[in-house]
Amino acid sequence: MKIEKITGLIAAPFTPMHPDGEVNVQVIEKYHGLLTSNGVVGAFINGSTGEGVSTTTREKLMVAETWARVTTGGSIKVINHLGGTCYKDCIELAKESKRMGLHAVALTSPSYFKPANVKMLAEFFSKVAESVPEMPVYYYHIPVLTGGFFNMIDFVREVAPRVPNFAGIKYTHEDFMDFLSCLNFEDGRFDMLWGRDENFLSALILGARGAVGSTYNYAAPLYHKLIEAFDRNDQAGARAFQQKSIDMITLLGKYGGIATGKAYMRFIGLDCGEFRLPVRNMSSSDYQAFVKDVRSLGMDDLFSKI
């Protein structure tokens, strides 16, 4: 299979929720419009940001069906994250993703019964990929959450000869040596998508041209300016934009972590509700303090516009 590499920003959308905690797919059409109008080229749905580990198979299918419908004929490429604990569930979701006409699927390392080595991880991956032989399949490398601390260059060497539809890796880790080795494998054969927004500039320097991130939902203009500065060799400008990204992401930690991303979405005008348990959501008073901190960043022109 010829791999179509994705250049640009791929957002990892939040899964919108009603106040009672049920999935709110009605928001997704407006969400799609937000990403399109802000120059985002893809959507990595049902991932970490999309609470894929906290939603049921039925809910993941609802989310995927809605994204498939709203993106038909548009420019957004949808990659559906399948999970990674039960390969049977992954196969079911992969086949449904293919039926829906989504661009690609992705899966992580099993995180409870963990693979003993790279060969076992490749076997797990292969079993899912072979169920959709004409669809690109990405590996989602996020070892801090899965515990799959394998060198990805070893994984690439294992799957490259045996999985024709292996597309590449969403690389959410800080091992730049390993990332570069994967990027250079067989003259850049695979699509290596960077997954750490706070050090995107470092990945650009190594040669990355596509990235998947949660902050691209609400701050795409910031990263477009970072890329533009890098491409015109304005190193000081690129570093300054990366620092703004770091300052913005620092507030995620200050206000409780991943759920703060939905607070950013509320701030720009697209209310996606709250995260499901066990993730902690901020209180009303915390949100007011958060808004003050966001305004103090001086980034009003760098947030995504509704």
Residues with catalytic annotation? Answer: 140, 170
Residue 239 burial (CB count, 10 A): 14
Residue labelled with tokens 């939603």: 55
Q: Exposed (0-12), middle (13-18) or buried (19+): which is 126, by Cβ within 10 Å?
A: middle
**46 close to 52: Cβ distance less than 8 angstroms:** yes
Residue labelled with tokens 């539809």: 165
For residue 302 the two structure tokens come to: 């760098």
**133 close to 96: Cβ distance less than 8 angstroms:** no
Coil/strand/helix, residue 80: strand
For residue 13 the two structure tokens come to: 């959308």
Amino acid in the structure at residue 153: I
**171 close to 179: Cβ distance less than 8 angstroms:** yes
Partners of residue 106 on adjacent β-strands? 81, 138
Q: What is d(CA 270, CA 165) in angstroms, rounded to the nearest whole number?
A: 36
Instruction: List, in order, residues 6 or more apart from 99 with CB less than 8 Å away.
Output: none
Q: What is d(CA 304, CA 306) in angstroms, rounded to the nearest whole number?
A: 7
For residue 238 the two structure tokens come to: 């690129």
Q: Exposed (0-12), middle (13-18) or buried (19+): which is 22, by Cβ within 10 Å?
A: exposed
Q: What is d(CA 158, CA 156) in angstroms, rounded to the nearest whole number?
A: 5
Coil/strand/helix, residue 43: strand
DSSP state of 303: S
